[in-house]
Amino acid sequence: MDHWQGYTCLDFVKRTNQKDYVYIFSGSGCCSFVGRRGGKQKLSLGLGCDTFGIIVHELGHCVGFWHEQSRPDRDNYVKILYENIHQQDKHNFKKLEDDDINSLQQRYDFHSIMHYGSDFFAKRGGVDTIVPKLRGIKKEELGKQYYSRYTFALSNQDVIQTNLMYRCNIFNENGGTIFAKSGSFHSPNYPLPYSVSRDRVWIITNGQSNGSSITLSFDDFSVGKNDGTGICKNDYLDIRNGKGFLSQYLTQLCGNEKPDPVTVLGE
């Protein structure tokens, strides 16, 4: 719980007289309902469920997350090897429909705490049950956070998606999300120089429906180098219309000249 509270806006409180609450007990296996169900909601942490990653994973279900590989678009990113899965376990790999799951326009996250490992529910040792389709992604990366005992287990996408789901203003010089009609942010260490080659992601939304717009204005700007051809060298600022790296690309800015305001229309 401290882990979720430390990296998101969520706050777990001890129950007093609340009608809706989560009851954590030592049951049979590691399992939880997804999202708020109402009343006494059970979360089981049985034998073998006491590792850091598994506890964070089961709390993730309670927070509102399905398994990452259950996304409707999962077949674009991973292949499920049903021939290596016990018949009674195949339901764990069911693909959900768009009406069942909402990923808030976030990209598929191989590193999510909610993603299965490559050999989960395998019939025997040495065989895979799920493998990545994309180049550059190794099967060893799948679900590695699930087994994590002492390291940071929530992926960056887990944090972003949680704060989007709960409409949180987690927004600072190191990136984050903001829900507001107006606001401001700056690079790390401003007005001093920032560290080079470090990615920072800010997601800005006014919470309005389609047809609204957001205007980004600049008070000061000095990012990377522009060789005069419009091509950025080293560092740069990318502006996109959407909530992920696969969203619509709008413009890339760099250099020492303050850019003109950029207006983004809602999708």
- What is the distance between the alpha carbons of residues 116 and 68, in angstroms, rounded to a whole number? 8
3-state secondary structure the chain: CHHHHHHCCCCCCCCCCCCCEEEEECCCCEEECCCCCCCEEEEEECCCCCCHHHHHHHHHHHHCCCCHHHCCCHHHCEEECHHHECHHHHHHHCCCCCCCCCCCCCCCCCCCCCCCCCCCCECCCCCCCEEECCCCCCHHHCCHHHHCCCCCCCCHHHHHHHHHHCCCCEEECCEEEEECCCCCCCCCCCCCCCCCCCCCCEEEECCCCCCCEEEECCCCCCECEECCCCCEECCCEEEEECCCCCCEEEEEECECCCCCCEEEECC
Is 115 annotated in a binding site? The answer is no
Is 91 annotated in a binding site? The answer is no
- CA nearest 61: which of 164, 130, 162? 162
Among 58, 140, 141, 257, the active-site one is: 58
83 tagged catalytic: no
Residues with a catalytic annotation lie at 58
Annotated binding site for Zn(2+): 57, 61, 67
